Amino acid sequence: MSSMFSLIDLLIVGCGVYVLYVYYCLKFKGEIKEALLLPKGISAGRCKDKEGYIREMSNKVLIFGIVVLACGILCIMEDEYRMLGRFYLLVMLVFAVTTVWFAVQGKKAVKKYWE
């Protein structure tokens, strides 16, 4: 690892792996991981329609996990090999836009299934 950015990129890869684990739990086990999907103070047990929430959010969690993991890997490659050039800014933009999109979608789903 050549810099502090590499360490941050490794953390991003770890977050991507965790988001994909949350997808697995959501889709295949029917578990809602509160730490990633719900705001503080909202319990998964109080959901009005758990199956509907899982249906609505599972693909969004999958997309977010894939994007986070891919961006982390691409950023590590950029730190080590400097092969992306200006494409690196596009990767960072995709990461930022996807993160905001996921937060907005999560907030809408909480409003729909909890309030």
* Percentage with pLDDT > 70 across the chain: 98
37 inside domain: no
SS percent in the chain: helix, strand, coil, step 5:
80, 0, 20
108 inside domain: yes
54-74 average pLDDT score: 97
41 inside domain: no
Answer whether 0.95 is exceeded by the pTM.
no
Number of structural domains, the chain?
1
107 inside domain: yes
* pLDDT tens digits for range 68-103: 999 999 999 888 888 878 898 999 999 999 999 999
83 inside domain: yes
8 inside domain: yes
Total residue count of the chain as it appears in this document: 115
40 inside domain: no
Going by the DSSP 8-state scheme, the letter that residue 41 receives in this structure is: T
User: Can you tell me the distance from the alpha carbon of 37 to that of 55, in angstroms, rounded to the nearest whole number?
Assistant: 14
81 inside domain: yes
